Amino acid sequence: QGSRMTGATWRNSGRSPGVIVASHALVEAAVLLQDVWGGEGAIVRRAILDKHVFVPPGARIGCNPEDDKRRFTMSPAGITVLGKGQTVPNP
């Protein structure tokens, strides 16, 4: 099973099989593991998303470090990390 990036922008990032990212989304300097779903217009920067993470349309990850620290785990290097099966809150 491959990945689908329909109309999404993908920069310096890695992805596993089953990743689906919708149109107008941006994935930059990130790693998306198996079966991650990214909604339309979502932004994922400097992040690692474990298997089965759901990113709703318009969500922002890696855009506001203070917001990310409250909602997710952040490494000392400033990489936002989402655990297996985690759902990102709607924007």
Residue-wise pLDDT tens digits, 9-42: 999 999 999 999 999 999 999 999 999 999 999 9
Contact between 10 and 30 under an 8 Å Cβ cutoff? The reply is: no
Query: What are the counts of helices (DSSP H) followed by strands (DSSP E) for the chain?
Result: 1, 13
Helix, strand or coil for residue 1?
coil
Task: Examine the pLDDT at 3 and tell me if it is beyond 80.
Answer: no
| Mean pLDDT for all residues in the chain | 94
Q: Structure tokens of 25? A: 């989304």
Task: Examine the pLDDT at 1 and tell me if it is beyond 80.
Answer: no
Interatomic CA distance for residues 76 and 9, integer angstroms: 27
Specify the pLDDT at position 7. Answer: 84
Nearest one of 62, 2, 79 to 35, comparing CA atoms: 2
Specify the pLDDT at position 2. Answer: 66
Check residue 67 and report its DSSP letter.
Answer: H
Specify the pLDDT at position 73. Answer: 96
